[in-house]
């Protein structure tokens, strides 16, 4: 496989790898390091890359595993999960403040979710993977993914609704 072939196969989804890494590791620098490590591993095995049915799903699985190992390591004890990918440039100041406040609450709520639910929300709602791809990445059944996603969304919705109603968690 030539360098050009590799770039054409891998580069279209490198931003997704970064976003998943950032979701799991929080730190932009840690996420960049993780992304670089994943791309380097793919490069080292470029001759076998064409044997994978879905290189993108394989890469996302590698990213998930790498980040979870990193989180388990002693040097990553202070990392947490947050989300800051959303921006809408066509809103007024009041609406912008409300959106930022809501996103801040969603980040806080997502921190309370079990690890598996955090990843499923990230992969489905942020990265827009279908259930079959997520099932392969996480080695789960599609029905289990749907249930976990439903529970995570319900938790986020209920806590966010309570926050807006009462101003508390």
Same topology, domains 1-80 and 88-169? Answer is no
Give the pLDDT of residue 6. 72
Instruction: Report the candidate in 60, 159, 169, 79 with the shortest Cα–Cα distance to residue 119.
Output: 60
What pLDDT digit, counting tens, does each position of 21-56 carry?
A: 888 887 888 889 999 998 888 888 777 777 777 888
Give the pLDDT of residue 59. 87
Q: What is the DSSP string of 23-77?
A: HHH--HHHHHHHHHHHHHHHHHTTTTGGGSS-HHHHHHHHHHHHHHHHHHSGGGT
Give the pLDDT of residue 167. 55
Instruction: Report the candidate in 24, 126, 120 with the shortest Cα–Cα distance to residue 65.
Output: 24
Pick the CATH number of 1-80 from 3.30.70.270, 1.10.1740.10, 3.60.10.10, 1.20.1280.260: 1.10.1740.10
pLDDT of 161 over the 50 cut: yes
88-169 has which fold?
Arc Repressor Mutant, subunit A (1.10.10)
Q: Which of 8-12, 13-17, 87-91, 142-146 has the highest mean pLDDT?
A: 142-146
Residues 6+ apart with CB under 8 A from 50: 1
């Amino acid at each position: 496989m030539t360098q050009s072939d590799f770039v054409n196969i891998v580069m279209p989804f490198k931003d997704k790898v970064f976003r998943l890494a950032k979701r799991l590791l929080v730190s932009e620098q840690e996420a960049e390091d993780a992304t670089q490590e994943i791309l380097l591993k793919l490069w080292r095995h470029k001759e076998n890359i064409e044997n994978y049915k879905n290189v993108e799903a394989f890469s996302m699985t590698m990213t998930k595993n790498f980040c979870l190992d990193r989180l388990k390591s002693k040097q990553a004890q202070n990392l947490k999960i947050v989300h800051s990918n959303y921006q809408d440039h066509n809103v007024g100041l009041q609406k912008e403040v409300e959106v930022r406040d809501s996103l801040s609450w969603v980040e806080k709520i997502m921190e309370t979710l079990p690890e598996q639910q955090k990843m499923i929300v990230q992969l489905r709602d942020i990265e827009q993977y279908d259930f079959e791809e997520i099932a392969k990445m996480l080695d789960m059944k599609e029905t289990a993914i749907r249930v976990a996603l439903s529970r995570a969304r319900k938790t986020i919705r209920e806590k966010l609704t309570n926050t807006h109603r009462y101003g508390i968690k």
